[in-house]
Amino acid sequence: MKDKWRFCMKNIGHFIKEERIRQNLKQSFLAKGICSISYLSKIENHDIQASDEVISLLLKKLNKDIDRIRILSHEEEKILKEELLEIYEVITINKNQIFAIEKIKSIEKKFSSILAGQNLIIYKNLVVLRLFLSLGDKENCEKYIDKILKSEYKLDEFQQYLFFKLKAIFFYQYQNKKMSLYYIEAIDKNYILSPIEEADFNYVSGLIYLVNNQIIDAIEKLNLSAEYFSKNFHMKRAVECYISIGIAYKKANLIQKSENNYLLAMKIVNELKLNEFKGIIYHNIGSLYSLKGDSKRAIDYYRKSIENKQDNSEKLVTVLYILKELIKHKSTETEQKYWIAFGEKICDTNKLFQCEYENHFSIFKELLENRLSEKTIKKSLNFFKEKQDYEHLSYYNNIFGEYFFNKGRYKIAANHYKNAYFYLGGNKFERVGNH
């Protein structure tokens, strides 16, 4: 046993560190009664060769039986690395959440009873991070980003590429478009990617360029991605590309090209019964009719969108678009009340939704009653500023400007119009979904 641990002292340090973090234990707790915190840190970072007694005590405190921990051979590590990268490729193509949950559990279970080298542990952490990204699990994504950061200086070129790409996806998902752009542009590809990875990289890059208003770059990357996915019959991924290309053309005010891509996406969806995409396609077609000034058809498509969406947060996005359309064309009080109540009912099911949308519905209700309060204005604008939501800062400042202008309070109105223009440069964040 003594020779066993001395032979793999580096790996036992990594094992102790990984297991401690997995169990959410602090170094101070694990070290207490065994060694100093600094000494434990040196063991975990393989800066020191601890005695067998110390190692045994640490493993015992972690409830790990020393004789049940298996040391992997070089060949076994190679096979396990290939298995991890295969899981990464599957989740890249399909983004199946059930698959992601199952694989997270199986990977963590496997690594809790084997002694692996740091390079393999880094691959494990990168793949688990990718799986958590597909689930939109922010807390665990942050946890794994932190774990990988602590070993960043040990990453090889491909691992560094993966880490930057995954951080770009993370910041994209949580609407930090500047940081997502920073990481996607920081990637230095001095090696050949597999065709599927190249296509996914182009897709991620395209989405990030899109939200950063780099429309030409976005269309170029998304078209490359769409070409690969459609030729290789990854049709769900192809549909995502066509929807995103449609959004890009809409931003460029090329309405017909935008509509062509939405219709192509819908054609594939109907042929292959990929009904989960209908909601977002109908929503985007509705927004095109809104741009054309055809409010009736816009709302018809928004209604279809809500009927075809399962996710309540996605429904709320479309409810807001309906309310904006109704206000724009001074629709009846009954219609506005109906959609405000519809949105509030969804919000009642989730505190996160309440926090996100209560400002919108408060404004719409007070506008309907022709009594905008200073409290609501201040609270909502502060909320959107904090979120860096420049689209709504511009939109609502314009609404407030019109409200005060009609009340004859021209100085306040002018200030809101000025702010609306100032925030107009803020890019609208339109996302196909979690990547």
pLDDT at 20: 87
pLDDT at 10: 58
Residues of the chain with pLDDT under 70: 1-10, 66-67, 425-435
Q: Give the residue range(s) of CATH 1.10.260.40 domains in the chain.
A: 1-66
pLDDT tens figures, 22-57: 788 888 888 888 888 888 888 887 777 777 788 888
pLDDT at 11: 72
The H or E element that residue 317 is part of is helix 312-328
The H or E element that residue 71 is part of is strand 70-71
pLDDT tens figures, 224-246: 999 999 999 999 999 999 999 99
DSSP for 1-37, written as a single string: -HHHHHHTHHHHHHHHHHHHHHTT--HHHHHTTTS-H
* CA separation for the pair 353, 320 (Å, rounded): 13
Do residues 296 and 316 lie in contact, with contact meaning Cβ atoms separated by under 8 Å?
no
- DSSP one-letter code for 276: G
pLDDT at 434: 52
pLDDT tens figures, 283-331: 999 999 999 999 999 999 999 999 999 988 899 999 999 999 998 877 7
Question: In terms of CATH, what superfamily is 1-66?
Answer: lambda repressor-like DNA-binding domains (1.10.260.40)
Handedness of CA 271, 276, 279, 285 (dihedral sign): negative
Secondary structure in 3-state letters for 360-371: HHHHHHHHHCCC
By residue count, the chain amounts to: 435
